[in-house]
Amino acid sequence: MLWFFAKRYIKKYKPFVIWITGSVWKTSCRMIIYQILKKYLKISSDDLLSMSSNKFLLNIYTSPKNFNWEYGLSLSILGIENYSPSIFWLLKNLFLAFKIAFFWKKKYDVIILEYWIDHPWEMDFLLNIVKPHIGIITSVDKVHSQYFSNFDELLNEKAKLALYTKEVVFLNYDNRFVKKIYPLVRVDKFLFRTSDHKIKDDLQPDIWFVDYKVGKDDEFYIYSEADIYLKSQKFHIKTNLIGKENMGYIGVGLAILQIVAKRFDLSCNLWENLKLYFELLPGRFSIFEWINDSIIIDSSYNAAPESMRKILETSYNLKNKLFSDRKLILVLWDMRELWTFSEQKHRELAGLVFNIADEVFLVGENMKKFLIDELEKIWFDMSKVKWFNNSIELGKFLKNKLNNTKEKYLIVFKGSQNTIFLEEAIKQILKNKEETSKLPRQTERWIKKKAKSLL
C-alpha cells in the first residue's frame, strides 16, 4: 500500500529525484548533497544565489530520519517522518499516505533518497516506484549480503540503480565494481574519488581532490581542507567534515548543484574558495570533549568493514597531526550483517589495530571470538585489551578511568547498531550532558528498546 501511494505521488507531481545507494557513507553523501543544494539554491533581488536570502527558489527535501530500509523509500517520498512499528501506526499512516498521494499540494521540487538492499530483485521493486534522474553509488562492501549467493550478485543488484537512472550517474572510482558497470551506463556519467591515492588506470576520474589536510582553529575547531577538481573547475574547500571520503562527496554535491541549477534554469555562481559547515547526523564522526582535554570521536551509528577501516585510519591521522600528546583508545563493537564474511572481516582488523592503538576496549561476541584471538596470534600486548559484556559496563569503566588519571586520550567509538548500543557508553562520559541529544538513537522508541536490551 505504501508502495502504491508513493508511486502515485511521483506520477502526480513528477519531482526531480536524486537517489543514493551503496554499502557505506550513503547517509553522509545524502546530507552533504542536501545541505549544499539548500545553501546555494537561493534567490534575492540582487543576487540569485545570495547567501543573505531566506527564500528558496526550489523546495528541496530529504527525510531527516535514516529511512533507508523497506518502507523507508516510500515514507521518504511521501514526507512521512515518524515511524513506530505497530498496527496503530500502520493504519494511521496508510490513511495519511492516501491523503498525501491524492489530495495534498506538491511538497517539494527536488527529493534526495537513500536506500540499501539485502535481497535479490529488491532494487527492481524499488525502481518500479521511481527511477531517479540522478543516481549515485557510493561504495559497495560485503555488508547486507546474507541473501546473496556471492558478492558479485550483490554488486549486480546495486548496479541496477545506475542502469535505470534517467539522466546522470555518479560512480565511485575507488570501488572495484566500476570497470564492470561503467561501459553499461548509457546516460551521462561521472567518476568521483573518495581517496587521494594515485592510481594508474585506463579510466580517469571526473571529480577528485588533492592536498588533503586537517587542522584546528577557532572557526571550525577541527577542520579539513583540500583542492577539489570538477573536470576543469577547481575549488578550495575548508569544512568541519573530517575524512577524505567526505571531500569526494562534497565534489559530487558541487557537481549536482550545477546540474540542478541548469535543469531548472538557474544561475549558479560558485566561488573558488568555499567554507562549508555541515550539520552532522548523530554518530557520524561527531567530536565531543571530556576532562583533562581528552577528545571523544563518536562514529557509533553503524559499521561495515570499509567504514571501520577508514574511521580508524582517519582517527589515527588526526592523532598524529593534531593530538600527538594523546594516547589512542579504540572502542569497538561487532560489525553486523556480514554473515559468511564475518570471521574474515573481524580478523582482518587485527593488523590495523596492532599498528595504531594504545589501548583497545571491545564489546560483542565477534570481537571476542575473532579479533582478540587474532591480536594474540600477532603478539599484540594483551594487557592493553579489555572486553566487556555490554556498553553500560564499558561506560562505567571508562568514566572511572578518565576520572582517575591526568593522561590525555583520543577515544574512538565504532560499531554496528542493535543490542549493544555504544552510544550508551559515550553518554556516561560526556563532559556536557546536554550533548546527549547529539548521540544516535535518543528518541523515546529507541530509549525504551535499549532499556529492555541492556537490562
| Triad 150, 336, 320: Cα angle to 5° | 110
The pLDDT value given to residue 447: 82
Q: What is the pLDDT of residue 157?
A: 84
> Which has the minimum average pLDDT: 140-144, 274-278, 332-336?
140-144
Q: In the chain, what percentage of residues exceed pLDDT 70?
A: 93
pLDDT of residue 185 exceeding 70, the answer is: yes
What does the pLDDT look like over 192-210, one tens digit per residue? 999 987 777 778 899 999 9
Alpha carbons 312 and 199: distance in angstroms, whole number: 23
Measured CA to CA, the distance from residue 442 to residue 203 in angstroms comes to: 44
Question: Number of helices (H) and strands (E), helices first, in the chain?
Answer: 15, 16
What is the per-residue pLDDT for 177? 80
Condensed to tens digits (0 to 9), the pLDDT of residues 104-156 reads: 889 999 999 998 777 788 888 888 999 999 999 998 766 655 666 777 777 78
Residue 252 has pLDDT above 90, yes or no: yes
- Arithmetic mean of pLDDT, 302-308: 87
pLDDT above 50 for 91? yes
Instruction: Assign 333 to helix, strand or coil.
Output: strand
Which segment of 53-62, 87-96, 264-273, 380-389 scores lowest on mean pLDDT?
53-62
Residue 101 — pLDDT band, cuts 50, 70, 90? Answer: very high
- Return the higher-pLDDT residue of 57 and 277: 277
At 396, the pLDDT band (50, 70, 90 cuts) reads: very high
pTM of the model: 0.89
Output the pLDDT for position 109.
94
Which pLDDT score is estimated for 290?
A: 78
The domains of the chain, with CATH numbers, are 2-276 (3.40.1190.10), 286-453 (3.90.190.20)
CB–CB of 80/90 below 8 Å? no
- 455 band by pLDDT with thresholds 50, 70 and 90: low
pLDDT at position 44 is 41
pLDDT exceeds 80 at position 429: yes
Mean pLDDT of 166-188: 91
- Given this model, what pLDDT does residue 48 score? 38
Q: Which of 100-104, 154-158, 175-179, 373-377 has the highest mean pLDDT?
A: 373-377
CB atoms within 10 A of CB 186: 10
* pLDDT band at 314; cut points 50, 70, 90: very high
Mean pLDDT throughout 320-342? 90
pLDDT score of 40 more than 60: yes
pLDDT at 133: 97
Arithmetic mean of pLDDT over the chain: 88
Q: Which pLDDT score is estimated for 243?
A: 92
Q: What are phi and psi of 250, to 5 degrees?
A: -65, -40
Alpha-carbon torsion, ordered 343, 344, 346, 349, to 10 deg: 160
What element of type H or E holds 256? Answer: helix 244-263
What are the b/e assignments for 364-395, b being 16+ CB within 10 Å?
bebbbebbbebbeeeebeeeebbbbebbbebb
**What's the mean pLDDT in 361-366?**
94
Give the integer Cα–Cα distance in Å for 234 and 231.
8
Q: What is the pLDDT of residue 145?
A: 58
Phi, psi angles (nearest 5°) of residue 325: -85, 0
pLDDT in tens, 373-389: 999 999 999 999 999 99
**β partners of residue 297:** 287, 412
**pLDDT of 223 higher than 80:** yes
pLDDT at res. 297? 94
